[in-house]
Amino acid sequence: MLKYFSEAFEELKSNVTWPAWAEVQKYTIIVALFSVIFALATWGVDLTFTKVLTGFFNLLKG
């Protein structure tokens, strides 16, 4: 087990190409904005379906 972690750490140090800090920040902002937009879209669809279904069931009640 110790050998596995030692080799994995060495792999991360020597063979992985890490992005520049500015690139990481840019992609973090993109992901955060997309997450907010997706959350708002999901909320909007949920609100729309809630209103549609409420109206439908109110029609059924008569």
pLDDT in tens, 16-59: 898 999 999 999 999 999 999 999 999 999 999 999 999 999 99
Note the pLDDT of residue 28: 98
Q: 3-state class of 59 per DSSP?
A: helix
Note the pLDDT of residue 10: 93
Note the pLDDT of residue 62: 79
Residue 60's pLDDT band, with cuts at 50, 70 and 90, is very high
> Is position 5 within any domain?
no
CA separation for the pair 47, 36 (Å, rounded): 16
pTM of the model: 0.66
> What is the count of structural domains for the chain?
1
> Is position 45 within any domain?
yes
The DSSP H or E segment spanning 9 is helix 2-14
Question: Which segments within 1-62 are labelled E, that is strand?
Answer: none
> Is position 4 within any domain?
no
Please state, in angstroms and as integers, the Cα–Cα distance from residue 16 to each residue in 9, 12, 21, 53, following that order: 10, 5, 15, 52
Q: Which residue has the tokens 């992005």?
A: 19
Q: Which domain holds residue 54?
A: 19-61
